[in-house]
Amino acid sequence: MTNNNAVVNFRLPQHLKTEAFEVIAQYGLTPSQVFNMFLTEIAATKAIPLSLNYLQPNAKTLAAMNEIESGTAERLSLDDKTDLATLLQQIAEEKK
């Protein structure tokens, strides 16, 4: 009988492996089963079954990009480290 299984090796951070494998085990599955399910879905749908929306700029980012492209963005001048520290402090305060 011929074995048609392929072996795939890849690197990932140890903490990611530990966390992910714990979740997989909670579902009563093995990592091999999950990887097979994932690749089967990719092959069947010709798409990656993950949300990749984080790669798309949101409305606030698009507005800022438009301001820069149109030349209407506020320009800041930083003459020294103190100016930078002050600016960063102001930004931090605005986010609160």
pLDDT of residue 85: 84
Q: pLDDT tens digit string along 18-29?
A: 999 999 999 999
Q: Taking every pair of C-alpha atoms in the chain, what is the biggest distance, in angstroms?
A: 74
Q: Give the start-to-end residue ranges of the domains of the chain.
A: 14-50, 61-95
Buried (b) or exposed (e) across 46-64, using 16+ Cβ within 10 A? eeeeeeeeeeeeeeeeeee
User: Which helix (H) or strand (E) is 18 found in, with range?
Assistant: helix 14-26
pLDDT of 15 strictly over 70:
yes
Closest CA relative to residue 31, chosen from 12, 47, 3, 49: 12
- Other CB atoms within a 10 A radius of the CB of residue 13 amount to 8
At 35-93, the pLDDT tens digits run 999 999 999 999 999 887 777 788 998 999 999 999 998 887 777 667 788 888 888 88
Contact 73, 63 (CB under 8 A): no
